[in-house]
Structure 1
Amino acid sequence: MEKHRIFTTSFTSVYPHYVTKAEKKGRTKEELDTIICWLTGYNLQELQHIIDNRTDFETFFAEAPQLNPNISKITGVICGYRVEEIEDKLMQKIRYLDKLVDELAKGKAMDKILRS
């Protein structure tokens, strides 16, 4: 079975779109980075390294230090699919990230986004 093209897409090519989406709604790049680090366990230096090296999404999630234990609390619909029902685990992780970025752009409080 052929991989979905998002798996081989570089995180670097999508990251600016995440930043733009957040900033258009009055949120900051720092808040976005906080969300990404919360989800994946990367620190800011590791995240910058990923961006600089054009790491693809498959590697980005495969090498994530520690997915947040509260990841199962991320629920809802993204791109027409319920994130908690997506069977492909890599696609599910990508959609979790999309969901968090959407919540940030919609003005949700950081403590709610981070499932605190």
Structure 2
Amino acid sequence: MAAEQNERGAAVETAARALLQNAGLQWRASNVRFRGGELDLVMYDREAASLVFVEVRYRRSAQFGGGAASIDASKRRKLVRAAQLYLNQYPALANSPCRFDVVEASGEPPRLNWIRDAFRADDC
């Protein structure tokens, strides 16, 4: 069952990446892990000249709220911390505008919903 969930998660992340790239964002990295947090996708939005940290959330059903609803304050803090650590690795990006997006997926086959600017670092 865990292998099936991992495969589904990877497929949803791949679909999310394709959605974002088709919308004009450039891919920079996937599954960047740091102690205490992980960034699912790191993209660059040329139009907004912004680095975009994307959390991808899959729910079999949106009955109890979509994927975005599952990103609580603790998870947002972890994502912000992971983004800070990512920026520390790339000093040239340290002063880049950034935003946090969410791509939520639900159902079978998954339907994707891209939420731009889902939360801000100063909300955490």
More strand by share: 2
Q: Which has the higher contact order (CA 8 A, sep 6+)?
A: 1
- TM above 0.5, yes or no, is no
The higher radius of gyration belongs to 2
**How high is the TM-score relative to the length of structure 2?**
0.29
